Structure 1
């Protein structure tokens, strides 16, 4: 397949691009640092620094949009919120315009989103039928998804990737957590009852490939493992995987003044189930958190 990937140098994108290359796909990666792509992937990847490189005579079988600045790393000032919108909604709008101008449209558009669209939903089972929340993160995801849907008018199949906490040792949340846990400083967050809906990076990439090749799949999909756990259980499992124990707890009252609105990302939660992926027949390799953590370095 001829595939255009945005966000291809990120923690998830790198694993996806390598998987696509390994199976023989022709991959083009749009990156703000196109000069870095040969170092990361070698000469097999076509590097684009601007989407204007997509001229009307170029065609792709699929577009996979994983672009988006990290949401928790910096305070949510007005300027930062706009940057988060631009990095998600802005690039999605540009992709829609490029598709509209292309003489041959892609068959499928896999476009990023996140389970944050549901807001803080406590311990209720959440499937793709659940409504969107009303906090900033939820509204951001909802706008992101709405920006992708005009591709359907162009005859392009759209899959919305409602992504959970993607686990792998070389990036994302897990990489940040492992160091303090190795030092015996791991702690649960607040009362630890907030649910964490996770997925191993291997299964995430496999889910994307599954969606690429199943034309009956369209609409929103929860990309999470079938067995979400609460923060207390996650904390214990991570500590055990590193042969440590976690006795500490970080109270919400300590972090909320520092994080502000962002505290919802740590102290809120969603018990999200991948109902649609399971019903379509996707088999997860990692369904239990302990096993996923034991294989945190696997691709």
Structure 2
């Protein structure tokens, strides 16, 4: 297949490139720094502008994962603009460009996040569940999905990946937590009762691969492990895997004071279930947190 990938130099994108290069697919990666793509993305071809692909033969698929990191810094007015442009504006431009192609690709797999649901407390959240209390993150995801859905007018199948925090050995949330937990300084966040979805990088890659290749897959899919946990359980499981205590909770008020509205990423509760993936008999490699953490820590 000839696949165009935006966001290919990120954590998930790099893992996808490695997976698809091993399968023999032809990969093009849209990047602000195309000269770095071959090195970061397992030899994929980098391109800085969509128009540079106008002369390329028809694409078989597009995977749209581009977006500035949402948790790297507080959501100031300037940061919100960066997050909006890197997701909504880019996706709009991408879909418009696809519509101008003589032969639009048959499938678009587009990124989103479990933040789409907002803070929903104890409610179990399948793909058909309504959003809860809105915040900037949920509005961002809703607009992101709306722009991707417009590709249906060109006859494309659109699958939306609502991704939970991805656990990986060297990058992402787990890498940020490990230094404190290794020193025995980890603990729950706030009350610790908030539900905390997660997914192992291997399962994230496998699920996107399934959505790309299975013509029956369309619409939103929750990319999260079936073994949902509360934040306190996650902290205890990580500490146990490292043979350390988890005795230093971070007060919710301190997180709200430091992070403002962005604190919802840590204190909001999302009991997300991968209902549609399970209905499609998706074979989870790491469905439970203890086994996932043990596998990841062995890779470090």
Please, which moves more after superposition, 229-238 or 56-65?
56-65
Is 1:153 paired with 2:166? no
Structure 2 residue aligned with 1:198: 198
* 8 Å CA contact 1:56, 1:103 repeated in 2: no
Change over 3 Å in CA distance of 1:41–1:112 after alignment to 2: closer
**Matched residue of 1:248: which SS?**
coil
Question: How many residues end up aligned between the 2 structures?
Answer: 298
* 8 Å CA contact 1:6, 1:66 repeated in 2: yes
Is 1:82 paired with 2:110? no
Structure 2 residue aligned with 1:282: 282
Distance 1:41 1:221 in 2: 25
Is 1:112 paired with 2:111? yes
* 8 Å CA contact 1:54, 1:98 repeated in 2: no
TM (norm. structure 1) is 0.97
Distance 1:168 1:285 in 2: 14
* 8 Å CA contact 1:62, 1:106 repeated in 2: yes
Structure 1 residue aligned with 2:212: 212
TM (norm. structure 2) is 0.96
* 8 Å CA contact 1:60, 1:105 repeated in 2: yes
* 8 Å CA contact 2:8, 2:41 repeated in 1: no
Structure 2 residue aligned with 1:138: 138
Distance 1:41 1:117 in 2: 28
Please, which moves more after superposition, 45-54 or 226-235?
45-54
Structure 2 residue aligned with 1:126: 125
* 8 Å CA contact 2:239, 2:245 repeated in 1: yes
- Runs of 4 or more, structure 1, over 6 Å off, are none
* 8 Å CA contact 2:84, 2:140 repeated in 1: yes
* 8 Å CA contact 2:27, 2:45 repeated in 1: yes
Distance 2:293 2:56 in 1: 45
Change over 3 Å in CA distance of 1:82–1:154 after alignment to 2: same
Structure 1 residue aligned with 2:165: 165
Q: What is the CA-CA distance between 1:90 and the residue it aligns to?
A: 1.1
Gaps of 5+ in 1: none
Q: What is the CA-CA distance between 1:215 and the residue it aligns to?
A: 0.3
Q: Following superposition of structure 1 onto structure 2, how do residues 227-238 of structure 1 map, counting pairs within 5 Å?
A: 227-238=227-238
Q: What is the CA-CA distance between 1:89 and the residue it aligns to?
A: 0.6
**Matched residue of 1:160: which SS?**
strand
Structure 1 residue aligned with 2:44: 45
Distance 1:208 1:75 in 2: 29
Q: What is the CA-CA distance between 1:108 and the residue it aligns to?
A: 0.6
Q: What is the CA-CA distance between 1:58 and the residue it aligns to?
A: 3.4
Q: What is the CA-CA distance between 1:41 and the residue it aligns to?
A: 3.7
* 8 Å CA contact 2:7, 2:64 repeated in 1: yes
Q: Alignment RMSD, CA only? A: 1.4
Please, which moves more after superposition, 146-155 or 55-64?
55-64
Q: What is the CA-CA distance between 1:40 and the residue it aligns to?
A: 2.2
Structure 2 residue aligned with 1:58: 57
